[in-house]
Chain A
Amino acid sequence: MIAAHLPVLVVLLPLFGGLLAALSRHNEAAFWIALVASIATLAAAAALAGQVMAGGPISYRIGGWDPALGIEYRIDAVSAPILLLVAAMGVAAIVYARRSVTVEIIPERVAWYYTMMLICLAGLLGMAASGDAFNIFVFLEISSLSTYTLIALGRDRRALLAAYQYLIVGTIGATFYVIGVGLLYLSTGTLNFGLIVERLPEITSPRALIAAEAFIVVGIALKLALFPLHAWLPNAYAYAPSSATALLASTATKVAVYLLARYLFAVFGIQRSVGPISVADALMALSLLAMFAASLAAIFQNDIKRLLAFSSVAQIGYITLGLAIANEAGVTGAFLHIMNHALMKGAAFMAIGAILISAGSSKLDELAGIGRTMPVAAGALTVAGLALIGVPGTSGFVSKWYLVLGAIEAGRLWLAILIVASSVLAVLYVGRILEVIWFREPAKRSLEAQAVPLSLLAPTLVLAALTIWFGLDAGFPVELASSAAKALLGVSKGALP
């Protein structure tokens, strides 16, 4: 009985959990509510993934209404891994938050903080579960609004400015998206993805659709921080509370990438030309710019959180590049990197969060020799850093393998060389961190750093361990990613003329 309603439960569990946490008004109770809700969500997502892998896509009609009128939730090989990832990272971030909020959040706001985390999760999961373009807009706004709050709850005053900056940009993005959806509705008369795809061949004048595509892609690109629309991200990640940064970095941009893939492959067709260049070529150019420009920017950051944020922009470039390569290996690489990057960046932000809580700084020059006083957190940061480079034995290597393989199979050796060349920039920014934290004489702050509690380190270590595990035995993520790639490419028959 419950199994039949899983597609909607995966969204409702965190949504109602958030409501309960808000009503509880009690920090400890809110934590347990959040933990139970997020674990239940993870169980639902895992069950859904199992069902999809075994029996193909699941369609769920809200209230039993026909998709033409009502809202359809559709879980398939593309969305199932995203749901699983978001739900899993939600659990990790909430476990981590238990201790980090005591330092980073004013006590009266802790219950609200958990509420916002759960509502943000509900929004992100809804974006992945829903098969309705407008319903996705609603969830996009739910996740964005809760994200602004999460960022603004940071103790640093600059967090307010960062949240405000993101609020403006995010609102513009959402507006673009909803205008695009409106145009799409005008052309096709439906909001359901499946029906849109069915009706597209009947459209005689594609001009409105081209406008719809432009608005939708730009709207999503803002949310996923696609270069050059990434300016909001570094501040938001740097000044948000540590657990919020870990959650956002590993889920929010990833869901947006998923949405981009959905629209480009299933609706608009990625190989279609707009003017002289194809969508894929444009996306490839922007991805390469992201990989190089953001990595270069990362090299010159002093605040490790900001450095990791710029690295995120670059790593998102890898993911969108994989989509732009648009063959099976490339898209598999993109989906693999969605998952692998979430794990490694989650571990990195959690590790630097633990260091920030203990040593009181995330500035590189003040953390010299921190590896000696906080070996576990520094070790997790090291593992995550090696994965960002793509050292073999870490999950980052596997993603890169598929991306480069995709480039070579597409007959573009130059692209393969560019992909690996940009990871040398990662050697530079990761190398700087590692040199300072391990090889310098300890600075004052490093010597005064206190040991951090296990509840902070446990989720950090689990993510770091998974980063290595999926670097040595990647069977599970590769299976998820390649099913997603096959599903996307299977429907990518160029829906538009």
Chain B
Amino acid sequence: MTGMLLSGEASLALALVIPALAALAIIALARHPNLREAATLVAALALFIVVVDLLTGVLAGARPALELAHLAPGLSIALHVDPLGMLFTAIAATLWVANSVYSIGYMRGNDEPRQTTFYACFAIAIFATMGLALAGNLLTLFLFYEILSLSTYPLVTLKRSREAMRAGRIYLLTLIGASMILLLPAIIWTYAISGTLDFAPGGFLAGRVGPEAMAVLLGLYVFGAAKAAVMPLHRWLPNAMVAPTPVSALLHAVAVVKAGVFTILKVVVSVFGIETLQTTGSSAWLVYVAGFTIIAASFVALSADDLKRRLAYSTVSQLSYIVMAAALATPLAVIGAALHIAAHAVSKITLFFAAGSVYTAEHVTKVSAMDGIGRRMPWTMAAFTIGALSMIGLPPTAGFLGKWFMLGAAGGAANWFAVGVIIVSTVLNAAYFLPIIFRAFMKPANGPVREAPLAMVVALTATAAGTILLFLLPDIPLRLARAMVGV
């Protein structure tokens, strides 16, 4: 017995149908803002319930599958949930609820234009994320990966200003360009050498391709999934900061960058197989590339005065933790990587919520202008502090967990480069987050206490609480991460 209310197939179908219907309802209700936002909230809650139900089943050992379309002989569009996919699904579905509440406060508080476009494209992006996370094979993953890129383009360009359109072009060209030029050939190459695209625990490439070719193939996947923002394909992310904060939250926490690192981790675990990568050593080079990205992005973050830019480079750095852990290719490391996907999602969304809250209430965007802001917006900045601690990796926050596993894995593998990177970057993280907190709380306030709209404060408090809860009760993500590598 799996204890599920719905059948596994029904849950999988609903995970796609609910956000798709939500997008249609949002467009239909364009002239009724209250109903439109109600549609978003109802859909987000419905999806959350479906995903919790699916999670119950997956934890009990169920692995439902569903074929959506048969494309051509040997090629199908199919869903097949596994523990890693379940983890990502659960993160995205949960954060959609939080982000929807926050968005209502932010979009109305700032009187943003094109709100229907925003909610509709957001729902389509969630649809794509569900499909990507639950994908049963590489083709399905690629399909939803591209839908995600396309559906978020109108969000990045939501302001329609010259700057926004420019950022949108960089965004689309980098993501679609890399996925077309590198990811697609990687997938077809995989198909040519193995005759299958179906994800399998332990991978399916062992012995089918030489170590050098395997390293090249891995490179195609890693840089092809440019959403993971491994340098030098990271520039789209800081550029996309021009979008409103709820969009940034979507990009950084809920869906987009997570889709990138998820793709890499999934490919490492279920296409190559970590044992295969261990024995061939085909992923050793990636440790250095990811390590470089971690340190270099941290230095850029250190020098950025614009708060959102600092957060963006922090994301670039944090993502490469996950990539580096995947490249270490030990069970402990990939468990750490999976946990860090969850931890970074919930903490980074908190940081962005806080940044957007400060912007909405005070129109402050620069770190240098944040003196005393913590005394005036105590809830917001308390949440920000929790998010920042998690980024540094200090207990009692979620960020500690993943880092602990990754550090252990790097030490266990005697990879002193990786150990050094983690330690140095932790210092750097502290160096660019702690001064913000210091300014916010220690410098005198220059105005009365005035928080952002209630919906925003509720949302960011919830995600901050989640950041701590994930540390205190890591049972579910840990079980999923362990099941991923079968330990």
Residues of A whose CB lies within 8 Å of any CB of B are: 386, 389-393, 398, 400-401, 404-405, 408-409, 413, 416-417, 420-421, 423-424, 427-428, 431, 435, 438-439, 472-475, 478
Residues of B whose CB lies within 8 Å of any CB of A are: 69-73, 75, 77, 139, 142-143, 146-147, 150, 154, 157, 160, 165, 168-169, 172-173, 176-177, 180-181, 184-185, 188-189, 191-192
CB-CB < 8 A to A435: which residues of B? 165, 168-169
CB-CB < 8 A to A421: which residues of B? 180-181
In the assembled complex, the Cα of A281 lies from the Cα of B106 at a distance in Å of 59
Task: State whether A420 touches B181 (Cβ < 8 A).
Answer: yes
Enumerate 5 A-B pairs (CB-CB under 8 Å) in ascending A order.
A398-B72, A423-B180, A424-B173, A435-B168, A439-B154
A48 to chain B, nearest CB (A): 24
Task: State whether B70 touches A475 (Cβ < 8 A).
Answer: yes
Task: State whether B72 touches A478 (Cβ < 8 A).
Answer: yes
CB-CB < 8 A to B168: which residues of A? 435
CB-CB < 8 A to B185: which residues of A? 404, 408, 413, 416-417, 420
Task: State whether A391 touches B72 (Cβ < 8 A).
Answer: no
- A-B pairs with lowest CB-CB distance, top 6: A392-B143, A478-B72, A472-B69, A408-B192, A474-B72, A404-B188
CB-CB < 8 A to A475: which residues of B? 70-73
Task: State whether B72 touches A431 (Cβ < 8 A).
Answer: no
Q: Chain B's interface: helix, strand, loop or mixed, by majority?
A: helix
Task: State whether B71 touches A405 (Cβ < 8 A).
Answer: no
| Closest residue on chain B to residue A432 by CB atoms | B169
| Closest residue on chain B to residue A428 by CB atoms | B173
CB-CB < 8 A to B192: which residues of A? 405, 408-409
Contact residue among A390, A423, A431, A473 (Cβ-Cβ distance under 8 Å from B70): A473
In the assembled complex, the Cα of A428 lies from the Cα of B150 at a distance in Å of 14
In the assembled complex, the Cα of A164 lies from the Cα of B461 at a distance in Å of 72
Task: State whether B73 touches A478 (Cβ < 8 A).
Answer: yes
Contacts A431-B169, A473-B70 given; indicate if A390 touches B180 (C-beta within 8 A).
Answer: yes
A414 to chain B, nearest CB (A): 10
A335 to chain B, nearest CB (A): 13
Contact residue among B77, B146, B154, B188 (Cβ-Cβ distance under 8 Å from A401): B188
Task: State whether A392 touches B146 (Cβ < 8 A).
Answer: yes
CB-CB < 8 A to A391: which residues of B? 146, 150
CB-CB < 8 A to B154: which residues of A? 438-439
A440 to chain B, nearest CB (A): 8
A263 to chain B, nearest CB (A): 28
Task: State whether B172 touches A416 (Cβ < 8 A).
Answer: no
Task: State whether B172 touches A408 (Cβ < 8 A).
Answer: no
B343 to chain A, nearest CB (A): 31
In the assembled complex, the Cα of A475 lies from the Cα of B77 at a distance in Å of 13
In the assembled complex, the Cα of A408 lies from the Cα of B191 at a distance in Å of 10
In the assembled complex, the Cα of A392 lies from the Cα of B165 at a distance in Å of 24
Task: State whether A398 touches B71 (Cβ < 8 A).
Answer: yes
CB-CB < 8 A to B160: which residues of A? 439
Task: State whether A439 touches B157 (Cβ < 8 A).
Answer: yes
Contact residue among B72, B172, B173, B181 (Cβ-Cβ distance under 8 Å from A417): B181
Instruction: Name which of A390, A417, A420, A475 has the most chain B CB atoms within 10 A of its CB.
Output: A420
A61 to chain B, nearest CB (A): 36
| Closest residue on chain B to residue A390 by CB atoms | B180
Known: A401-B75, A427-B173, A475-B70. 6 other contacts (CB 8 A): A393-B143, A408-B185, A417-B185, A420-B180, A427-B177, A439-B165
CB-CB < 8 A to A398: which residues of B? 71-72
